[in-house]
């Protein structure tokens, strides 16, 4: 099973490591299942940029970025080269190790779980 480590731009939030994640789940689904705050206005269908994250490790173990996702990342707050949308980051392998940074959610108006 995959391991996903979440770190936070807001350093007051303690990093969280989630183990035993099945391939086929998205980073957004992992946050939902483990009560990790990540806004998501469109419900995870790649129609906004509120679930914007930074992938620090394991990018090659996620589904490839699409042109549609790239377009929405351009609308995100502070996009970087390692930017992805959590709803589109599908884990491809059971033995993956992925490290995700969640940007400061206080700057984003969005749906909270």
pLDDT for 113: 46
What confidence tens digit (pLDDT) does each residue in 12-27 have? Answer: 999 999 999 999 999 9
pLDDT for 44: 87
Residue 105's pLDDT band (boundaries 50, 70, 90)?
confident
Distance CA 97, CA 57 (A): 7
Does the domain made of 2-104 have the CATH classification 3.20.20.210? no
Q: How many other CB atoms sit within 10 Å of the CB of residue 101? A: 17
Q: Can you tell me whether residue 87 is helix, strand or coil?
A: helix
Domain coordinates in residue numbering, the chain: 2-104
Taking residues 71-92, what's their average pLDDT?
95
Distance CA 34, CA 51 (A): 15
Q: Which helix (H) or strand (E) holds 4?
A: strand 2-8
pLDDT for 109: 62
Q: What is the pTM of this model?
A: 0.91
């Amino acid at each position: 099973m995959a391991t996903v480590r979440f770190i936070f731009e807001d350093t007051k939030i303690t990093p969280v490591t989630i183990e035993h994640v099945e391939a086929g789940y998205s980073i957004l689904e992992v946050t939902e299942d483990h009560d990790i705050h990540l806004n998501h206005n469109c419900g995870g269908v790649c129609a906004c940029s509120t679930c914007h994250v930074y992938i620090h490790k394991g990018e090659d173990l996620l589904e490839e970025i699409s042109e549609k996702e790239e377009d929405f990342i351009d609308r995100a707050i502070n996009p970087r080269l390692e930017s992805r949308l959590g709803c589109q980051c599908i884990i491809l392998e059971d033995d993956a190790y992925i490290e995700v940074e969640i940007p400061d959610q206080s700057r984003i108006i969005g749906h909270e779980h």
